[in-house]
Copies of this chain bind each other. A is one copy, B any other.
Amino acid sequence: MANQQTSNWLNSYFPISIWLKNYTREDLNGDIFAGIITAILLVPQGIAYAMLAGLPAQVGLYASILPPLIYALLGSSRTLSVGPVSIAAIMIASVLAAPEIIELGSPVENAIILAAEGGFILLFMAMLRMGGLVNFISHPVLTGFTSGAAILIVLSQIPHLLGLAKNQCGLTLSCYNEYLQHINHYTLGLSLFSILLLLSFGSPLATLLKRFNVKTNIIIGLSKCAPLLAVIITTILVIVYQLSDLQNVAIVGEIQPGLPDISFAFFSNATQWQALLPGATFIALIAYVESVAIAKVTANLRNQKINPNQELIALGVANLATAFSGGMSVAGGFSRTMVNFTAGARTQMAMLIAVALLSIAVIFFTEQFTYLPKAALAAVILIAIFPLIKIREIISTWKYDQGDGFAELITLLGVLALGIEEGIALGVVITILSYLRRTSRPHIAVVGRIKETDHFRNIKRHQVETWKNLLLIRIDENISFANVSYIIDFIEDETINNAELKHIVLIFSSVSYIDRTAFEALENLINSLKNQQISLHLAEVKGPVLDKLKQTTFLEQLSPGKVFFQTIMAVEQLTDKK
């Protein structure tokens, strides 16, 4: 019995224990291949996303070691690849660039605190079981946000691609000439070479290899090697032609070799923690939302389930782990997870293998990355990020629903014009307002009786019996502050020019909740109808609603109006009398 309980507890908090038990040889085959492919992607992505965030390369590599290991133990997705991701990286860059943040400490210190705070926030949300909160960021807002952030990322890489010193000039037309003059043509050459290599390793290579009947696995493996190949070839070019020394091509520079130290030093500074809290909250929320979204996509394809609350725990601990080991904020990466999945990953074992390989790279090969040109990394970022700019999806959302399309577009423009956090906040506000506006017009029907039956139907759609002194109104939704004034207006409009009306029966068959605002408005309605010599009645009131009304003086106020068990009873009593 105790054993059973332990096992349940283990399964729910350490999902690894579920799949590890039934792990097969076949699983291992899939995981080894996927692990190698993912590791090949993880190395350039780790360095590139650190650069994107404005941090030294090792911060991205460190974030690729402990966090995926932790996630493998705690995460409920079997194929999510946790580590540094582009959207979080650009958000980190935006937080770290604020003047009041720069004052507080080095970028690395600030980035570590951002990750630690994010971890605590996610764990706090897990404690409050707030996993469902993510549902309130609607899909259009998320797409608009991602597209906007991706455009920002692309723009941020232009100086690297052209070999311009950063912030030399803005992105205005008057800078055009200046740009042309300052372009480093060697850097541009390396960029173009990398981009072409990355593009040709996509579908063109796959089509070619398929013609030669090459195995699908090998095709996938080869096509995912492009980033590493681009990095290696351009690095060799820089070394051979001394492009860094002679032609001023920007390179990554020395990367600290070896595994990260575990440190708790970042806990000390309260002002810093306070200043970074808003940014950390946004990064943590977006990291969580994107991770769960991609985890669900892959889980659905294999009939597996994602546990939103367990994801909060897993990502929370993973972000604490990245902070302890000197890394940046982590999340489940979209492109990396899809690579891991399509390469055949069955379980998180694939990520464990990838981490092992990456650790070897970090221990033995960091020196080799010193001459890696930033242009190649920018090309890797560019190709990874482009599919996230979903202009076509915005158009199709707009066609489907103008309100949702509007929210999507405004979020995108908000991210570009106002900033990343501001853009998504704007999108959320617009979505909620338009949702409230929509729900503020509930479905209400004046109903009549289908002759000789006890069925009541909408008078607009059916041939039904009605009465001059009695009006039956069916309210098809819960009544709350958002829709009560619409309902009251509807009822009042029905009473105008209706001098013979003596009774109104509200049919509450679909009402399972009346909030306080609605309750008070109904009380006022009773009195206002009484002034017009009209009695209000209720019919088909559900148990919980009636219980609540009984706790108040509502029923006394209603009197002489009554509560009828069935609508037919109201008709019999109220029409016979008159």
Contacts and interface: CB of A to CB of B under 8 A. Distances in A.
Q: How large is the interface on A (under 10, 10 to 19, 20 to 34, 35 or more residues)?
A: 35 or more
A388 B297 CA distance: 53
Contact of A440 (B132, B443, B477, B485): B132
Contacts of A528: 300-301, 303
A324 B184 CA distance: 61
A431 interface: yes
Contacts of A481: 135-139, 431, 435
B531 A303 contact: yes
Contacts of A552: 396, 400
Given A140-B516, A551-B399, A135 B484 contact: yes
A179 interface: no
A482 B513 contact: no
B512 A443 contact: yes
A527 B300 contact: yes
A182 interface: no
Interface stretch (A214-222, A282-290, A356-364, A517-525): A517-525
A513 B438 contact: yes
Contacts of A397: 516
A436 B516 contact: no
Contact of A132 (B136, B403, B485, B531): B485
A516 B399 CA distance: 10
B515 A404 contact: yes
Contacts of A185: none
A125 to B, nearest CB: 13
Interface string A39-54: 0000000000000000
A301 B530 CA distance: 10
Nearest to A528: B300
A476 interface: yes
Contacts of A439: 439, 478
A106 interface: no
A305 interface: yes
Contacts of A440: 132, 135-136
Given A132-B485, A432-B436, A512-B443, A400 B138 contact: no
A401 interface: yes
B482 A435 contact: yes
B548 A517 contact: no
Contacts of A478: 438-439
Interface string A522-553: 00100110011000000000000000100110
A492 interface: yes
A7 interface: no
A480 interface: yes
Interface string A490-524: 00100000000000000000101101110111001
Interface in A424-451: 431-432, 435-440, 443
A403, A436, A440 interface centre (most CB from chain B within 10 Å): A436
A300 B510 contact: no
B300 A524 contact: yes
Given A305-B492, A476-B510, A528-B303, A138 B399 contact: no
Contacts of A302: 531
Given A300-B524, A300-B528, 10 more contacts: A135-B481, A135-B482, A136-B440, A136-B482, A138-B481, A403-B515, A431-B481, A435-B481, A439-B439, A476-B510
30 contacts: A132-B437, A132-B485, A135-B481, A135-B484, A136-B481, A136-B482, A137-B481, A138-B516, A138-B517, A139-B481, A139-B520, A140-B516, A140-B517, A300-B524, A300-B531, A301-B531, A303-B528, A303-B531, A303-B532, A397-B516, A399-B551, A400-B548, A401-B548, A403-B515, A405-B516, A432-B436, A435-B436, A435-B481, A438-B480, A438-B513
